[in-house]
Amino acid sequence: MPKTCLPVLIFALAAAGAAAEPLSRVHTSYYYVDGKSATVIAAQLEKNGPAGEDGKRYAAKTRWDVQWKFNHDQQGETCGVKDIAVAVGIAQNMPKWRGEDNAASALSARWKKFSEAVKRHEDGHKEHGVKAAAEIEAALQALKPASNCEDLDKAANAAGEKVIEKYRKLDAEYDRSTDHGRKQGAKLI
């Protein structure tokens, strides 16, 4: 997700006077599945679920995007950072079963267990985004002043991108090690 997705959020945060920890916004959207059996619902999940980076469809997906902004603190011949603002936007796309209210209790219980496991798994991805934002804020605060503001900007952005890369890799490993949540109970059949 490009770094331009949250400019209003960043500027609002900067105007409020940079919080002690990164601001986080979570948006959850739903797609619907139908069916009167676990097999039919599972087929709907495979057909209608959000696509992953690999093009395959999964039961749910969480995306996060970290934005950062700071002002320059020109002190003589050096340029430092001040007024750091970091925010993370998190978008989760989760399944919702339309037939749950009229279903047999065993199938309803199965769906509940499945959907709770999906949520737990996706919250693991959400946590990666939140941790990335906090780590970026710490990295920006730790930056040493540079001889000019252009070099400082380059160093700040490189530090932020390095953290994002780290957490993207953690997301990918998390999906590999949990089989996209299936090993955590996110499987219906």
- pLDDT-derived band at 19 (thresholds 50, 70, 90) equals very low
- pLDDT-derived band at 147 (thresholds 50, 70, 90) equals very high
- pLDDT-derived band at 27 (thresholds 50, 70, 90) equals very high
1 in a structural domain: no
Enclosing domain of residue 180: 7-184
DSSP output for 153-181: HHHHHHHHHHHHHHHHHHHHHHHHHHTTT
Other Cβ atoms less than 10 A from the Cβ of 189: the count is 12
104 in a structural domain: yes
**pLDDT over 90 at 7, yes or no:** no
**pLDDT over 50 at 151, yes or no:** yes
pLDDT at 21: 79
Q: What is the pTM of this model?
A: 0.86
170 in a structural domain: yes
Other Cβ atoms less than 10 A from the Cβ of 1: the count is 13
Enclosing H/E stretch for 135? helix 105-142
- Residues with Cβ within 8 Å of 124's Cβ and at least 6 positions away in sequence, in order, are 174, 178
Query: pLDDT tens digits, residue range 107-145?
Result: 999 999 999 999 999 999 999 999 999 999 999 999 999
pLDDT at 20: 56
189 in a structural domain: no
Mean pLDDT of the chain: 91
Query: pLDDT tens digits, residue range 73-89?
Result: 999 999 999 999 999 99
141 in a structural domain: yes
95 in a structural domain: yes
74 in a structural domain: yes
Three-state SS for 25? strand
pLDDT at 62: 98
The pLDDT > 70 percentage for the chain reads: 89
2 in a structural domain: no
| Average pLDDT, integer, range 12-20 | 44
What's the total number of domains in the chain?
Answer: 1
